[in-house]
Amino acid sequence: MQTPAPPPAAPPCPEAAFPRLLVKVCGMREAASLAAVADQGPDFLGFIFAPASPRYVGDVLTPDLVHGLPEHVQRVGVFVDAPTAQVLAIAYRFGLNYVQLHGHETPAQCAEIRAAGLRVIKAFGVGEGFDFDTLGPYVPHCDFFLFDALGPAPGGNGRVFDWRVLEKYPWPVPYLLAGGLRPEHAAVVRNLQLPGLAGIDLNSGLETAPGVKDPARVAAFFDGLGRSAAA
């Protein structure tokens, strides 16, 4: 099948827009861990609002913790097949800037959420032979895509996929690379040259237990990227 031309409403291509690789740390919950990770200077912090996840925020994350984050940190709520009304209610309550849709959400739902004033990251599980044409209808309605490995759970599987699939990425929407990234990957990731790559998403690879980030592993990743808090 021929790759369709990108629609004109798409955001600009990321290479020029982002001077350095963006870093999102996801699955945050406890106040102490949140503060320690925020100190490392991530660009995005992610909170899982999918009840089936072992990183579900539950009652542990309170809105004031999110509202109290440094202004420059983008706050991302992660949802899996949640109704738009629920997504928006949570997003407004917690002061989220971005919504990461990690299930089977449609382009229409992405558009609806964006029209309500939120930025949208649409996640896709990538396997061998991933068909980039399927992203076309999402292009006008997303600020970022996120590419994750396929696995038994919608996300947080700790699996790395073959990033070479992304060499053929054809769209102008920037994306975050996710899936099992660990401190050992930092040196490789910082030099990755892939079309459209804007940033990375770190999650289970920094944990001692689901939702509990190990400050040493977080610091090791940022060091490996040349972004240590002290630098």
Ligand X SMILES: O=C(O)c1ccccc1N[C@@H]1O[C@H](COP(=O)(O)O)[C@@H](O)[C@H]1O
Distances (CA, A) of 132 to 43, 85, 109, 115: 27, 29, 19, 25
CB of residue 1 to ligand X, shortest distance in Å: 28
Q: Cα–Cα distance between 144 and 156 in angstroms, integer?
A: 18
Q: Cα–Cα distance between 185 and 221 in angstroms, integer?
A: 8
Q: Which is nearer to ligand X, 80 or 139 (CB)?
A: 80
Of the chain, the end-to-end C-alpha distance in Å amounts to 48
* 227 touches ligand X (CB under 6 A): no
Tokens of 166: 């992304």
CB of residue 157 to ligand X, shortest distance in Å: 5
Tokens of 140: 């006008």
* 174 touches ligand X (CB under 6 A): no
Tokens of 157: 């599987």
Q: Of 86-94, 131-139, 154-162, 166-174, which segment contacts ligand X by CB under 6 A?
A: 154-162
Q: Of 33-41, 62-70, 127-135, 152-160, which segment contacts ligand X by CB under 6 A?
A: 152-160
CB of residue 154 to ligand X, shortest distance in Å: 4
Interface size with ligand X, residues (CB under 6 A): 27
The answer to whether 40 and 222 are in contact (CB under 8 A) is yes
Per-residue x/- track, 24-63, ligand X (CB under 6 A): --xx------------------x-x-x--xxx--------
Distances (CA, A) of 62 to 24, 59, 89: 20, 7, 14
Among 201, 213, 222, 225, binds ligand X (CB under 6 A): 201
Nearest to 119, CA basis, from 147, 91, 93: 91
CB of residue 29 to ligand X, shortest distance in Å: 11
* 181 touches ligand X (CB under 6 A): yes
* 180 touches ligand X (CB under 6 A): yes
Beta-carbon contacts of 230 under 8 Å, excluding residues fewer than 6 positions away, are none
Q: Which is nearer to ligand X, 171 or 221 (CB)?
A: 221
Q: Which is nearer to ligand X, 65 or 181 (CB)?
A: 181
Identity (one letter) of the amino acid at 147?
F
Per-residue x/- track, 63-82, ligand X (CB under 6 A): ---------------x-x--
Distances (CA, A) of 161 to 46, 116, 129, 164: 21, 33, 12, 9
Among 205, 218, 224, 225, binds ligand X (CB under 6 A): 205
Residues found near ligand X in the complex (CB under 6 A): 26-27, 46, 48, 50, 53-55, 78, 80, 102, 146, 148, 154-159, 178-181, 201, 203-205
